[in-house]
Structure 1
Amino acid sequence: MLSPVTDTDGAPFWGYARQGELRVQACTPCGELRFPPRPCCPHCHSFESGWRRLCGHGRIWSYVVPHPPLLPDYAEQAPYNVVVVELVEAPRIRLVGNLVAEAGARLDSVPPERIRIGARVQVVFGADGLPQWVLERA
C-alpha cells in the first residue's frame, strides 16, 4: 500500500495522524486554520503557527469511484472510492481519503451506491496512520 510523502511543513500532520489525532495547522496571531500546512499564514502573513486538534466530523463534498483503478497498489480492492471531505470546524479545509466501513477496512468495504454528497462522516485512522472516513450513525 501507499505511504504518505512528508515534507517539513506537513510532517506534524502525519505524526498526529499516526497517533489517531486529526490536527491542522493554526496561525498563532490570527487563529486561521489552514491545510495543506505551509510556513506562512495566507491571511496575516505570520510565520508563527501551532497544531489544533479537530473533532474530525465532516461532510462528503465530492467523490469518485475510479474505473479502472488509478493506483496499481489498490487494484485488488477496486472498485474503491476516493472522497473529499469538508470539515465541520473548518469548512474551507477539505481532506481527501477513502470512505470505509470501519477503521482499517478494505477500500471497497462501502458499496459506491451508499456514497452521497453531503453525507456526514467521521475521521478514523488505519494502522498505517492514513486518515479514512466512516459514515456517522444517524
Structure 2
Amino acid sequence: MLTPVIDPDGAPFWQYAAQGELRIQACADCGELRFPPRPCCPHCQSFGTTWRKVGGRGRVWSYVVAHPPLLPDYAEQAPYNVVVVELADAPRIRLVGNLVSRPGAPLNSLSPDRVRIGARVQVVFSDDGLPQWVLERP
C-alpha cells in the first residue's frame, strides 16, 4: 500500500489523523482555513498557523471509480472509488479519500453503484490513521 508523502507543513494533519481527529490548518491571524497545508496564508500572508478540529461530516462533491490498469499495490482491490468530500463545517475545504463500508475496510468494500454526488458522509480512520469516509445513511 502506498503511504502519504509527509512534509513539514502537512505533518500535523497526519499526526492528528493517527489519533482519530480531523483537523484542518487555519491561519492564526485571520482564522481562514486552508487545505492542503502550506506555510503562508493565501488571504492575509501571515505565517502563523493553528490546527482547528472539524466535525468530519460532508458531502461527496465528486468521485471516480478506478478500474485496471492500476498501480500494482491497488490492482487487487479494483474497482474502487476515490471521492472528493466537501466538509459541512468548512465548505471551501475538499478532501480526497475513499468511501468504504466501515472503518478500516478495504477500498473495494462499497459497491461502486452506492456512490453518489451529494451523498452525506462521515470521516472514519483506518488502522494506520488514513482518513476514509462512510455513508451517513448506509
Q: Map residues 15-26 of structure 1 onto 2, 5 A cutoff.
A: 15-26=15-26
Corresponding position of 1:102: 102
- Percent sequence identity is 77
Q: Is the 8 A contact 1:69 1:79 kept in 2?
A: no
Corresponding position of 2:129: 129
> Match for 1:41: what amino acid?
C
1:39 aligned to 2:6?
no
Corresponding position of 2:13: 13
1:87 aligned to 2:87?
yes
SS in 2 for 1:92: coil
Instruction: Return the TM-score normalized by structure 2.
Output: 0.97
Q: What displacement does 1:69 show?
A: 4.7
Tell me, which stretches of 5 or more residues in structure 2 are unaligned? none
Give the alignment's Cα RMSD to 1 decimal.
1.0
Could you list the runs of 4 or more consecutive aligned residues of structure 1 that deviate by over 6 angstroms after TM superposition?
A: none
Q: Deviations over 1:13-32 (max 9, x none)?
A: 00000000000101111110
Count of residues in Structure 1 that have an aligned counterpart in Structure 2:
138
SS in 2 for 1:17: helix
